[in-house]
Each structure stands twice: as structure tokens, then as C-alpha cells.
């Protein structure tokens, strides 16, 4: 993950840059990170658990 992190952050910045609110961009970045993690279920609750954040 560390070797792709810069590319992932650049991708997220490009895709989420048009969102006006900072909290929306932050949640979008978490969502993209959650999609990249191991785990069968890619819905919000399982991803939030793997990321250690409250959904």
C-alpha cells in the first residue's frame, strides 16, 4: 500500500477535488482507501470497521 499511496492520493484529489466541503473530500478519501483494503465486503460498514472509523 505504501508504494501506491502517492498515486492513490493524487487520484483521490483529482476525483474528489470538485467537492466543495472538506468533510466530503475526507470521507471520499476514506472510501477509496476502504476499497483498496482486503476484505470480501466493500459496503460502508465493513470498510469503516477495517479503517477503524465510525460509520
Name the residue range of residue 10's domain.
5-51
pLDDT tens digits, 1-55? 688 888 988 888 899 999 999 999 988 888 888 888 888 888 888 888 888 888 7
CA 30 vs. chain centroid, Å, equals 3
pLDDT of residue 33: 84
Q: How many domains does the chain have?
A: 1
Predicted local distance difference test score (pLDDT) of residue 18: 93
pLDDT at 16: 92
Please list the alpha-helical segments (H only) found in the chain. Answer: 5-16, 22-36, 44-51
Question: What pLDDT, on the 0 to 100 scale, is given for residue 35?
Answer: 85
Amino acid at each position: 500500500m505504501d508504494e501506491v499511496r502517492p498515486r492513490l492520493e493524487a487520484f483521490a484529489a483529482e476525483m474528489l477535488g470538485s467537492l466543495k466541503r472538506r468533510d466530503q473530500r475526507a470521507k471520499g478519501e476514506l472510501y477509496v482507501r476502504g476499497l483498496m483494503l482486503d476484505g470480501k465486503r466493500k459496503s460502508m460498514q465493513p470498510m469503516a470497521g477495517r479503517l477503524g472509523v465510525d460509520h
